[in-house]
Chains A and B, each alone.
Chain A
Amino acid sequence: MIKIKNFIDTPSQTAGPFLHIGCTPSITGINIFKDELGSTPFKNISLNEEINIKGKIYDGNNDPIIDAMIETWQCDENGKYFNYQGFSRRVTDFKTGEYQLKTIRPGNQINEDGTISPSYILFWIVARGMNRPLITRMYFDENEIKSDVMFKNLNIQDRLKTLIPYTEDKKNFIFDIHLQGKKETIFFEF
Chain B
Amino acid sequence: MINKHQPLRRFPDYKSSTVRSPENEPLLINFSNSEITGPLFNKNILNENDNNLILNFSKNGEKALGQEIFVHGFVKDENGNPLKDVLIEIWQANAGGKYRHQNDPSNISLDENFGGCGRFITSSDGYYIFKTIEPGAYPYPNRGIEWRPKHIHFSLFGSMFLQRLITQMYFEGDPLIKSCPMVNSIPDINARKLLVGKLDLSKTDEEKILGYRFDIILRGKQQTYFENKIEGS
A residues engaging B (CB < 8 A)?
Answer: 2-3, 5-23, 25, 28-30, 32-35, 37-38, 59-61, 65, 67, 71, 73-75, 81, 83-84, 86-87, 94, 109, 111-112, 117, 120, 122, 124, 126-135, 137, 150, 153-154, 156, 179-181, 184-190
Sample of 11 further A-B pairs with CB below 8 A, known A21-B117, A38-B39, A129-B17: A6-B80, A10-B195, A10-B217, A14-B182, A18-B103, A32-B47, A75-B33, A132-B7, A180-B19, A186-B24, A187-B27
Task: Tell me the bound Cα distance from A133 to B32 in angstroms.
Answer: 18
Task: Find chain A residues with CB under 8 A from B162 CB.
Answer: 190
A189 touches which one: B7, B28, B34, B194 (CB < 8 A)? B28
Which residues of B sit under 8 angstroms from A184, Cβ to Cβ? 22-24
- 23 A-B residue pairs with Cβ-Cβ distance under 8 Å, sorted by A, are A5-B220, A9-B6, A14-B168, A15-B155, A21-B91, A21-B115, A21-B117, A29-B100, A29-B102, A30-B115, A33-B50, A38-B39, A84-B39, A87-B38, A109-B32, A117-B33, A122-B161, A129-B17, A129-B21, A154-B230, A188-B27, A189-B225, A190-B224
- Contact A8–B194 (Cβ < 8 Å): yes
Question: How many residues from B make CB contacts under 8 Å with A?
Answer: 89
Interface string of B98-116 (1 = CB under 8 A from A): 0111111000000000011
Q: Could you list which residues of chain B lie within 8 angstroms of chain A, going by C-beta atoms?
A: 5-9, 11, 14, 16-24, 26-35, 37-41, 45-47, 50, 56-57, 76-80, 89-91, 99-104, 115-117, 119, 153, 155, 159, 161-162, 164-168, 182-183, 185-186, 188, 190-192, 194-195, 216-220, 222-226, 230-233
B17 touches A131 (CB 8 A): yes
Assuming the A-B contacts A11-B7, A18-B91, A28-B102, are A75 and B34 also in contact, with contact meaning beta carbons closer than 8 angstroms in the complex?
yes
Q: Would you give the shortest CB distance from A103 to chain B, in whole angstroms? A: 14
Once the chains bind, are B165 and A190 in contact (CB under 8 Å)? Answer: no
With the chains together, A162 CA to B70 CA distance in Å?
A: 45
Residue of B nearest to A155 (CB): B230
Q: When the two chains form their complex, are residues A12 and B153 in contact, meaning their CB atoms are under 8 A apart? A: no
| A128 and B80 contact, CB distance less than 8 A | no
| Closest beta carbon of chain B to A151's beta carbon, Å | 9
Q: How far is the CA of A186 from the CA of B32 in the complex (A)?
A: 17
Q: A135 contacts which chain B residues (CB < 8 A)? A: 26
Complexed CA–CA distance, A111 and B116 (Å): 41
Chain A residues within 8 Å of B153, by CB: 13, 15-16, 19, 22
Partner of A190, one of B22, B35, B40: B35
- Complex: chain A residue closest to B215, CB-CB: A10
Contacts of B31 in A (CB 8 A): 190
Known contacts A83-B38, A129-B19; A189/B224 CB under 8 A: yes
A153 to B153, CA, bound (A): 40
B117 partner residues in chain A, CB cutoff 8 A: 21-22, 25, 30, 32
Quick check: B78 and A5 within 8 Å, CB to CB? yes
Contact B22 A179, beta carbon cutoff 8 Å: yes
Distance of A76 from chain B, by nearest CB (Å): 12
Contact between B39 and A131, CB atoms less than 8 A apart: no
Tell me the bound Cα distance from A179 to B91 in angstroms: 26
Contact A18 B17 (CB under 8 A): no
| A180-B78 in contact (CB<8A) | no
* B37 (CB) vs chain A CBs: closest residue: A81
A12 touching B101, Cβ below 8 Å: no
| A16 partner residues in chain B, CB cutoff 8 A | 153
